[in-house]
Amino acid sequence: MREYITYNLDLVTTIVNEVLKLSKYESEKGQLPDADMQDVMVNALCRKLLHTMTDESNDRVETRFTTNVADDFTVRTHPATLNRILTHIFENAQKFTEKGYIELRSEYDKAAGQIRLVVEDTGVGVKPEDRERIFDLFEKAADNFKEGIGLGLPICRRLASSIGGEITLDPDYTDGSRFILSIPVISK
């Protein structure tokens, strides 16, 4: 009983914290200060996230990282915000993927001047009619019995905007979900 109470208390605390973060972002209305930007080694950030997020207890889901950028490739951004966005998307992939794989991928599109950080899974996916709705506040599409209240993706979209980026769901991928976080590569 104690574990159940503690678990639910932690869940309520998380929800309250997410609502407070959303309120803070909404009140600031805009991008994060440039003074907080740092050079981030993209592959190192991704590998660290994957190492932290890998669920050793679920041997039916393979987690992997692929990249087309050099290990010394850096992007100037807000590392905590970037990590928070990717963490949430990866957690969603874990929540909705029971077998197959979850892949974190970094891709540099020089022509577009963007780095794309992709989280692809073989989970339940998102129905075509729900693809934009999942970014609305308090909307859940896949399974109403899974944890969460529908704030994570809307917050991720707002956070991506705050660092000059964009998060989308790839409509052409049908083997699960593929979320793409695109952020600009800023020259020093």
- Residue 67: the pLDDT is 97
Give the residue from 165, 164, 70 showing the smallest Cα distance to 108: 70
- Residue 54: the pLDDT is 83
Where the chain has pLDDT below 50, the residues are 144-145
- 61-67 and 100-109 strand pairing: parallel
- Residue 68: the pLDDT is 95
d(CA 157, CA 37): 19
- For residue 171, the enclosing domain spans 2-184
- Residue 144: the pLDDT is 47
Residue 76 belongs to a domain with what CATH number?
3.30.565.10
- Residue 139: the pLDDT is 57
Give the residue from 45, 63, 72 showing the smallest Cα distance to 181: 45
DSSP state letter for 123: S
Is residue 6 left, alpha or beta, with left meaning phi > 0 and alpha meaning psi from -120 to 50? Answer: alpha
- Residue 145: the pLDDT is 44
Q: How many CB atoms lie within 10 A of CB 124?
A: 16
How many domains would you assign to the chain? 1
Residue-wise over 59-75: b if at least 16 C-beta within 10 A, else e?
Answer: eebebeeebebeeebbb
